[in-house]
Chains A and B, each alone.
Chain A
Amino acid sequence: MLLSGAEIVIETLKLEGADTVFGYPGGAALPLYDALYGSSIRHILTRHEQGAAHAADGYARVSGKAGVCFSTSGPGATNLVTGIATANMDSSPLVCITCQVTWELLGKDSFQEADVIGITAPITKHNFIVKDIDELAKTIKKAFFIASTGRPGPVVVDVPKDILIKKTEFKAPEPFASLCGYEPKYKGKTTAVTAIAKALSAAKRPLLFLGGGVVIAGAQKEALALAQKINIPVICTLMGMTAFPTNHPQHLGMAGMHGSYAANMAITECDLLVGCGVRFDDRVTGSTADFASKARIAHLDIDPAEINKNVETHFKAVGDLSWSLPLLIENTHPGKIEPWWQQIRLWQQEHPLSFDTKSKEIKPQEVLVELDKLVKGEAVLVTDVGQHQMWTAQYCTMTKPRHFITSGGLGTMGFGLPAAIGAQIACPEEEVWLITGDGSIMMNCQEMATAAELKLPIRVAILNNRGLGMVRQWQRFFYNTHYSSSRHEPDMDFANLAKAFGCTGIRVDEKKDLPAALVKARSIKGPVIIDIRVDNDEDVMPMVAPGQALAKMIE
């Protein structure tokens, strides 16, 4: 069958099972959008390419399938960059088809030309530029393969406009199990796992440390089974919050800069730390010299480059967690760790999470406690970046994998709203909440129009503290309370902004109105934006100053 390059892109996407694409058209992309016209693929027109990248990312994180986005050349492609980098840091599978100027114009600083391959090389798992139309289908197939196998990540395919227009005989690309320089390995050395099992059975103060890798591997059941078999205390990273039910009695909470007291003390005092699908990021370790300094560290991960990258490990097991965790369960036996649990219970009793519940103003934590009462761990919770993100991780119950979507690695403000749109499209039956701040929402608020157009029932709770809460917190702690450029003036009326975009807007000023507003938001069919006026001086507690030892928590 003679097809144009653009038609080949569409046909190959269908063969890969991609039914939804997020994107934004433009000059170089016109042939692609023409092929899209009338095809069975659903295209979501975001209002900014950055929104398309985050929405595809949100879609991928909730569904586990690669998210797809389209952009035009030049600025269209460069607008994807923040979204690609966000997906890369959090190992989210993304296939971005960026259209490029024609081969004839390439390299001549032509209109809307940008070196997309050069720009995206450091922030992708891999990228391609298509030179030959007969390589196009195979290249897109490779892109899906690389994006969604092994440790997932974003892949960019840059397609010049002339390749989109040219015609060739289309043949469905042959399936493959590996590429010349890329062969994901899921099974590692059994002896590596049994060595960890032996150490774990003998440990007096063991600690299980779960990260986003557990969620990606779909190994929550295995993590739970392991924890229950040996009654080991469990802590999670921000990305791993849905790796283990937060309401489970063995869960000590999140670890790191805003982790719970018990979790951080457990890291400091444990004698064996078993990290699964974690990458020992600086926000989790604090000072690496003091991190788990009394412990031997075991590291289980699919990416060999993560072993010994940030902290030195004593045991390593490279492989997929759904391979290694069952082996670990089989070979580990419960040890005598009662004194360890007594110590941990004491930390928990003496240093629980707390905030002032009697304040006249609405405390931001209170919003999350109220929301948690309503959704009971069933909803997909999406966040932006900042204080609200930490409070969501601290105060919301999370029981279902892939139900907490947040930009952990890159910390991208503006991620939330488009990611929530992608999440809602991936799972139309689920209740999706975005918890955001007045700083973050402004970074991609144009996507309210996308949500309104699609009548997506996403609920957006803006914890509005009239400025940049986390920046102000650091300014209070470390910069003599100099509020340099961290206040938003004049006051922003988000309920009216929402209405202007075609969403429902609700404003909450009084504490007494909060529960009813949340209940009302749940009953509305389309997108709802709730502007909640919260105390603007609240700190996220506890806190470990950057680069400090985890035991040195400010409470």
Chain B
Amino acid sequence: MRHVLSVLVENRAGVLARVAGMFSRRGYNIESLAVGTTDKKDISRMTIVVEGDDRVVEQVIKQLHKLIEVLKVSNITNEEYVGRELVLFKVMADPTQRAEIMQIVDIFRAHIVDLNKKTLMVEATGDDKKLRAIEEALSPFGIIEVVRTGKIAMVRGQKSHLE
């Protein structure tokens, strides 16, 4: 099963290496990891998507807690949260196919952000399902490159995880 962990860490050089190193040396699979600063300048947030059964995730969370620079770990998998990812697709598109692709892009409320004679670049944001759907819709044209940010997530409601 896929779990989404929202992890607050000290904003300091080397923290990412420490977290990533812990995952790799204990054999846990990171599906995606996104990191960025928060509204507090000395604290960063990592959103980590990890694959594993409940026992594995229990261990992942405990091992994360053991890292001194990790301040808080929340498993938000079963909470009401908004999860988003940004993806860039480079798609084969000669001028005759552009209209069709633009239609698809409109349906998914995505954007075309670059264009040349043979290809165009699509920027899409959304949850897993939507991004899978747009990828499927674009693949018949030939996707030459995909870049993903990894998922970021925020729990709905008034409470802040930073508190």
Task: List chain A positions with a Cβ less than 8 A from chain B.
Answer: 117-118, 121-122, 125-126, 146, 179-182, 303-305, 307-309, 312
Q: How far is the CA of A122 from the CA of B26 in the complex (A)?
A: 10
Using A181-B10, A181-B68, A181-B69 as known contacts, say yes or no to A121 and B59 having CB atoms under 8 A apart. Answer: no
Contact present for B21 and A181 (CB under 8 Å)? no
Contact residues of B between 44 and 78, Cβ < 8 Å to A: 55, 58-59, 62-63, 65-71
Query: Using Cβ atoms and an 8 Å threshold, which residues of chain A touch B59?
Result: 305, 308-309
Contact present for B62 and A304 (CB under 8 Å)? yes
User: Considering the complex of A and B, which 7 residue pairs feature the smallest CB-CB distances, nearest first?
Assistant: A305-B62, A126-B68, A181-B71, A182-B68, A181-B68, A122-B25, A304-B62
Q: What is the chain A residue whose CB lies nearest that of B70?
A: A181
Using A121-B17, A304-B65 as known contacts, say yes or no to A180 and B10 having CB atoms under 8 A apart. Answer: yes
Q: What is the chain A residue whose CB lies nearest that of B72?
A: A181
Report B77 CB to chain A, min CB distance, Å.
18
Task: List chain B positions with a Cβ less than 8 A from chain A.
Answer: 9-10, 14, 17-18, 21-22, 25, 55, 58-59, 62-63, 65-71
Q: What is the chain A residue whose CB lies nearest that of B59?
A: A309
Select which of A122, A146, A303, A304 is within 8 A of B21 by beta carbon.
A122
Query: With contacts A118-B17, A180-B71, A305-B62 known, what are 10 further pairs, Cβ within 8 A?
Result: A121-B14, A121-B18, A122-B21, A125-B68, A146-B68, A181-B9, A304-B62, A305-B65, A305-B66, A308-B58
Report B64 CB to chain A, min CB distance, Å.
9
Query: Using Cβ atoms and an 8 Å threshold, which residues of chain A touch B66?
Result: 303, 305
Query: Using Cβ atoms and an 8 Å threshold, which residues of chain A touch B62?
Result: 304-305, 307
Query: Using Cβ atoms and an 8 Å threshold, which residues of chain B touch A307?
Result: 62
Query: Using Cβ atoms and an 8 Å threshold, which residues of chain B touch A121?
Result: 14, 17-18, 21
Q: How far is the CA of A309 from the CA of B59 in the complex (A)?
A: 7
Q: How far is the CA of A180 from the CA of B55 in the complex (A)?
A: 27
Q: Which of A126, A305, A307 has the most CB of B within 10 A?
A: A305
Query: Using Cβ atoms and an 8 Å threshold, which residues of chain B touch A182?
Result: 68
Q: How far is the CA of A306 from the CA of B123 in the complex (A)?
A: 44
Q: How far is the CA of A180 from the CA of B70 in the complex (A)?
A: 9
Query: Using Cβ atoms and an 8 Å threshold, which residues of chain B touch A308?
Result: 55, 58-59
Query: Using Cβ atoms and an 8 Å threshold, which residues of chain B touch A305?
Result: 59, 62-63, 65-66
Q: How far is the CA of A304 from the CA of B60 in the complex (A)?
A: 12
Query: Using Cβ atoms and an 8 Å threshold, which residues of chain A touch B63?
Result: 305
Query: Using Cβ atoms and an 8 Å threshold, which residues of chain B touch A125?
Result: 68
Report B38 CB to chain A, min CB distance, Å.
14
Report A421 CB to chain B, min CB distance, Å.
31
Report A262 CB to chain B, min CB distance, Å.
32
Using A122-B25, A305-B59, A308-B55 as known contacts, say yes or no to A179 and B68 having CB atoms under 8 A apart. Answer: yes
Report A276 CB to chain B, min CB distance, Å.
19
30 contacts between A and B (CB under 8 A): A117-B14, A118-B17, A121-B18, A121-B21, A122-B21, A122-B22, A122-B25, A125-B68, A126-B68, A146-B68, A180-B10, A180-B71, A181-B10, A181-B67, A181-B68, A181-B69, A181-B70, A181-B71, A182-B68, A303-B66, A304-B62, A304-B65, A305-B59, A305-B63, A305-B66, A307-B62, A308-B55, A308-B58, A309-B59, A312-B55
Q: How far is the CA of A125 from the CA of B10 in the complex (A)?
A: 16
Q: What is the chain A residue whose CB lies nearest that of B61?
A: A305
Q: How far is the CA of A279 from the CA of B30 in the complex (A)?
A: 26
Report B50 CB to chain A, min CB distance, Å.
16
Report A304 CB to chain B, min CB distance, Å.
5
Q: How far is the CA of A182 from the CA of B72 in the complex (A)?
A: 11
Report B153 CB to chain A, min CB distance, Å.
21
Query: Using Cβ atoms and an 8 Å threshold, which residues of chain B touch A179?
Result: 68
Query: Using Cβ atoms and an 8 Å threshold, which residues of chain B touch A126?
Result: 68
Report A45 CB to chain B, min CB distance, Å.
32
Q: How far is the CA of A304 from the CA of B65 in the complex (A)?
A: 9
Q: How far is the CA of A179 from the CA of B12 in the complex (A)?
A: 15
Query: Using Cβ atoms and an 8 Å threshold, which residues of chain A touch B14?
Result: 117, 121
Q: What is the chain B residue whose CB lies nearest that of A179?
A: B68
Q: How far is the CA of A470 from the CA of B92 in the complex (A)?
A: 63
Q: Which of A180, A181, A309 has the most CB of B within 10 A?
A: A181
Q: What is the chain A residue whose CB lies nearest that of B64?
A: A305
Report A516 CB to chain B, min CB distance, Å.
51
Query: Using Cβ atoms and an 8 Å threshold, which residues of chain B touch A303?
Result: 66
Query: Using Cβ atoms and an 8 Å threshold, which residues of chain B touch A304?
Result: 62, 65
Report B83 CB to chain A, min CB distance, Å.
25
Report A492 CB to chain B, min CB distance, Å.
37
Query: Using Cβ atoms and an 8 Å threshold, which residues of chain A touch B68?
Result: 125-126, 146, 179, 181-182
